[in-house]
Amino acid sequence: MFEKTGKYHRVPVGFGPAPSPRQDPKGERFDWSQAKTTTVGVVVEASVASIQALLPEGYEATASSNGKGTVLFEVMELRNLPWLAGRGYNTWGIYLNDVVCHRVSPPVKASYMSVLFESFTDPITTGREELGFCKLWAELPDGEVREKGRTHTASWLGFEFLRLELDGLKEHDPATAPGRKPESRIFTHPTKDGILHHRYVPSVGEPGKHDASYATFCPPPPGEAPVSYYAAPYASPDPCKPKEPTTFADGKGAKLEIKKGTFEQLPTLHNVVDGLAALQLGNVLEVAVQKFNGASDLKSNHRIEK
């Protein structure tokens, strides 16, 4: 029986173990050391109440900065992936920091993955089924890179609902990158504290009922992040932090636009984009463009609620 092979299976189940980021054709793990990763991350304050509105029951948004919560908007460009035979794709994740999961004892505090947009179907299907992650498809073209800036967008069949513009980027010593100095962050971060997520699978033919509904946790990667490049719009000695409070409206270093759409414009995403647009965003706390050697298959993600 396929349930007893100890390997990953997905529908259609009649064709044996499924190709996956977490198993090669022989059923063994891939070597991810030659993969290339670029992350473009912006951390911004948000009201705790607006963050709480995006959480399921049993999760609590807490303050981490001046009585406010924080949200990470992170674009990731993944290249030379072994499970795709050297191909790659782009992602855009929105993480709610300093969220406490009370569905388990003792409670777990980490960054909560609210949604992860991806530009390619295969990682969406494998990630939803094997990791339980809330992955959705969107058009995520490669970033438009300028001499001292870059622009990233997310759209659905031509309707743009996310736009991130960075300007005034300056290259800094990779040793000062936030990825290498996680302790400098006053908020949780996926690479410092791990990722909380809630897996939900609806029952077939029974609206409102579920086959699975539980908390998962993906621990942070071990060791120091192998950052090979780091750029930010702020000057040293704290290149990831603005010296004066700045907001997206100021346009100093970073500008983020979340554009709500009608049902006709976003028939399958309007509820998600409406929720993101309702976040009450404030001061920008971190802007960082980082390049890494290697990537992760996230196989350490696991169920914590029994």
Q: Which amino acid is at 285?
A: L
pTM, entire model: 0.96
pLDDT of residue 11: 93
pLDDT of residue 184: 81
**Greatest distance between any 2 Cα atoms in the chain:** 61
Helix, strand, coil shares of the chain, percent, nearest 5, are: 15, 40, 45
Q: Which residues of 210-245 are buried (b: 16+ CB within 10 A; e: fewer)?
A: eeeebbbbbebbeeebebeebbbbbeeeebbbbeee
pLDDT of residue 243: 79
Q: 158-162 long-range contacts, Cβ below 8 Å, gap at least 24?
A: 159/261, 159/265, 159/266, 160/259, 161/258, 161/259, 161/260, 161/261, 161/266, 161/269, 161/273, 162/92, 162/117, 162/256, 162/257, 162/258, 162/259, 162/276
Would you mind telling me the total number of residues written for the chain in this entry? 306
Tell me the chain's radius of gyration from C-alpha atoms. 19
Distances (CA, A) of 252 to 41, 162, 265, 284: 15, 18, 30, 10
E-only strand ranges, 144-209: 144-145, 150-156, 159-166, 170-172, 195-202
Q: Which residue is associated with the tokens 């069949």?
A: 157
pLDDT of residue 246: 83
Spatial separation of the C-alpha atoms in residues 82 and 186, rounded to whole Å: 34
Spatial separation of the C-alpha atoms in residues 233 and 148, rounded to whole Å: 9
pLDDT of residue 109: 98
Hey, where are the domains in the chain?
37-295
Q: Which CATH class is domain 37-295?
A: mainly beta
Spatial separation of the C-alpha atoms in residues 79 and 38, rounded to whole Å: 9
Q: In sequence order, what are the residues at sequence separation of 6 or more whose Cβ sits closer than 8 angstroms to the Cβ of residue 130? A: 8, 10, 20, 22
Give residue-wise pLDDT tens across range 24-44: 999 999 999 999 999 999 999
Contact call for residues 243 and 253 (beta carbons, < 8 A): no
Contact call for residues 305 and 214 (beta carbons, < 8 A): yes
pLDDT of residue 21: 98
In 3D space, the residue among 111, 113, 116, 154 whose CA is nearest the CA of residue 136 turns out to be 116
Spatial separation of the C-alpha atoms in residues 243 and 169, rounded to whole Å: 15
Residue 54 token pair: 């995006």
Spatial separation of the C-alpha atoms in residues 42 and 22, rounded to whole Å: 29
Residue 138 token pair: 């969107």
pLDDT of residue 222: 86
- pLDDT digit string (tens) for the chain, length 306 residues: 778 899 999 999 999 999 999 999 999 999 999 999 999 999 999 999 999 999 999 999 999 878 999 999 999 999 999 999 999 999 999 999 999 999 999 999 999 999 999 999 999 999 999 999 999 999 999 999 999 999 999 999 999 999 999 999 999 999 999 988 888 888 999 999 999 999 999 999 999 999 999 999 999 988 888 999 999 998 877 788 887 878 887 777 899 999 999 999 999 999 999 999 999 999 999 999 999 999 999 999 999 999
pLDDT of residue 224: 83
Contact call for residues 21 and 126 (beta carbons, < 8 A): yes
